[in-house]
Structure 1
């Protein structure tokens, strides 16, 4: 779990790299990370990033009247890209939860805090049961 100093360092890094930039696109890799349907995730495309802060251990990316809140829980994190990878994000195929593309060409990925249900089901199938 990221501790407060790590989240503070992440906020400071993001403030210097994303404030004033615009979100050009979002790609979702894990549907379970979305906790709201209104407004839809697509509503943040085209919005200017006005700030980055934290509430507890949650990262808050401030947009034009909206906030994108990232909770990392036990094992989640954020990966920065000076140039966002061009390959597609495939839903449920890997650890990537959300990719944010910025107008500058940079961006970041969030990694989910817990294993998705598909991975958990696969893991249960691989684990042999003890004889009763």
Structure 2
């Protein structure tokens, strides 16, 4: 799942490619992915893309109004790529290739939607293919007049990299979370926007904290975690700076120290990276760095042993 650093890089890459271009059409292939009906997707045709921004993990493409529209009325194409969604830039007009089950394919999973730019730009007919791999479909696409009309955006917490997000504000969030496990607090988008499963693992490893530690903690621990959060996210953004969308997944994987590295050696201390598995996700951590050398109980394994 793309998180704050990858979405940040996607905004930069897509902004350079899309801003100033006019949309010919937006085709939705997976209608389950489209979460809105008013305005219709056809309302985007003929509009110019004037901005690419983000809200947490959401991508937001801003379109200018038609000449005959109400003054100032804009439309937004908002996307949440979820666990297995991705965006691929296409250098020319779309060529439909057969995909699994007869659905059109786009190279990195079944095609969910396709954005086609008009012929006036360079290259003509280029655009985006939006895909989603796997069987569990969570990709979400919205066409709205205001990004806050998207429920997930309306309830987002603060951006952790905003200059106004201070240590005191972070400390207040942790105090309010009380005994809740810090891993879940960091991932909760209504509490802090943009951090997901991967970077919460990385932040906690950098801070040398157990993922099960209660959120309400001592002042020096709050400061250590705050600093780890900023260092981890800023470092990931710096590594992805200037990369095209096609390069971001590989860069993210290469930059991770514990997430997705179960069974490998911790790059800090050399201990074996361990995993705790849940129903639909897992976390990774280093026992020596984070839990005083004690492995955490893997609940899936515990159930198997009963």
TM, length-normalised to structure 1: 0.79
**Residue 100 of structure 1 pairs with residue 143 of structure 2:** no
Contact 1:49/1:61 (CA < 8 Å) preserved in 2?
Answer: yes
CA distance in 1, matches of 2:111, 2:77: 17
More strand by percentage: 1
Using the TM superposition, give the Cα deviation of residue 38 of structure 1 relative to its aligned residue in structure 2, in angstroms.
0.7
Once residues 18 and 12 of structure 1 are traced to their aligned partners in structure 2, the CA distance between those partners, rounded to angstroms, is 10
Instruction: Quickly say closer, same or farther: Cα 1:19–1:50, change in 2 above 3 A.
Output: same
Aligned counterparts of 1:15 and 1:58: Cα–Cα separation in 2: 14
> How much does 1:13 deviate?
0.5
Find the aligned partners of 1:27 and 1:88 in 2 and give their Cα distance.
15
**1:88-118 deviation digits (Å, cap 9, x = unpaired):** 899x71510000001132100111376367x
Q: CA deviation at 1:2?
A: 0.6
| Higher relative helix content | 2
Cα gap change, 1:93 to 1:102, in 2 (>3 Å): same
Q: Unaligned regions of 5+ residues in structure 1, if any?
A: 118-132
2:96 to 87, 103, 109: 87
Query: How far 1:87 sits from its partner (Å)?
Result: 3.1
Instruction: Kindly indicate whether the alpha-carbon contact (under 8 Å) linking 1:76 and 1:114 is maintained by their aligned counterparts in 2.
Output: no
Divergent runs of 4+, >6 A? none
Higher relative contact order (CA 8 A, sep 6+): 1
Match of 2:88, SS? strand
Where structure 2 has 5 or more consecutive residues not aligned to the other structure, the ranges are 65-73, 105-109, 138-306
Quick one: distance in 2 between partners of 1:87 and 1:74?
24
Three-state SS of the structure 1 residue aligned to 2:32 is helix
Check conservation: 1:27, 1:100, Cα contact below 8 A. yes
Instruction: Describe the SS at the equivalent of 1:11.
Output: helix
Matched positions, count: 116
TM-score, normalised via structure 2 length: 0.35
Question: Structure 1 residues 79, 5: CA separation in 2 closer, same or farther (over 3 Å shift)?
Answer: same
